[in-house]
Amino acid sequence: MSAARTALMACAAATIAGCTAILGIDKDYGDLPGGAGGGAATANGGSVPGSGAPATATWPMYSGTTIVLGAMTTGAVSATSATLTGLVAQDVANGAARFDVPTDIWNAETGRNADRYVQFTVPVTSGTFALDTISVRAGSGGGSYMLWDIVYSLSPDLSSPTALGTALSGVKDTLVTNSYSRLGVNISAGQTLYLRVYPYDSTTTLGKSLMLANVVVSGVTH
């Protein structure tokens, strides 16, 4: 049996530390797949937040049969109530708050309308908030294949936002979880995170609505 095969068999029965000693590998685990050990794994171009205190802002969007735009927070983070632009609150159904256009008629559009959105904000008043994950449960109420875009920015006019998802969709009255993790965005004191959901439809339609529930922004504070 070769020396290399003998070493590999011994490694298989050893701990990670023992294995590295047997094979003569330097004990810096930062290069292991998935960022195990000291290295930072990345996704969506970001990095896993380092040490810090967990912080989360959540907009449940409804309670019972009432639409609720206020936010709940845990940790050292603040959040303001969701705001509607070009939309009106409709009702609660199928486990979500539903939002419609004022005329109830959605005109056919090939992309998001800059004047129609639900906005969520997380102002950072001290220290740094390291944004890790944004999760939005959304759906197409009253009919299938309503579309929505999810974007965020640190600029209040969202002139050059980061798009997390575009032309997202779903079947009638069913929520879809759109989750984006390891964003790796550091937001300093004095800055604000702006998150928007833009609903639209590719065909002219009547009676549809944007469904929203449990919008969550999470990360750590330093």
Q: Where are the beta strands (DSSP E) in 21-161?
A: 53-59, 61-63, 66-68, 72-74, 83-85, 88-93, 96-100, 105-106, 117-123, 128-141, 147-153
Range of the domain at 91: 53-221
Whether 47 is in a domain gets the answer no
Token pair 């009547």 is found at 206
What are the tens digits of pLDDT across the range 110-141?
Answer: 999 999 999 999 999 999 999 999 999 999 99
215 pLDDT above the threshold of 90: yes
9 pLDDT above the threshold of 80: no
Whether 192 is in a domain gets the answer yes
Assess whether 102 and 212 both reside in one domain: yes
Whether 68 is in a domain gets the answer yes
Q: What is the pTM of this model?
A: 0.79
Whether 42 is in a domain gets the answer no
Assess whether 28 and 58 both reside in one domain: no
CA 123 to the chain's CA centroid: 17
Higher pLDDT, 205 or 17: 205
Assess whether 135 and 79 both reside in one domain: yes
The mean pLDDT value for 92-116 works out to: 97
Q: What amino acid is encoded at 74 in this protein?
A: T
Residues 6 or more apart from 58 whose CB is under 8 A from it?
Answer: 71, 72, 73, 74, 214, 215, 216, 217
Whether 46 is in a domain gets the answer no
Whether 48 is in a domain gets the answer no
Q: What amino acid is encoded at 124 in this protein?
A: V
Tokens of 170: 């779903």
Q: What is the rounded CA–CA span in Å between residue 28 and residue 86?
A: 53
Assess whether 7 and 96 both reside in one domain: no
Whether 57 is in a domain gets the answer yes
Whether 137 is in a domain gets the answer yes
Domain count, the chain: 2
Assess whether 68 and 24 both reside in one domain: no
Assess whether 106 and 169 both reside in one domain: yes
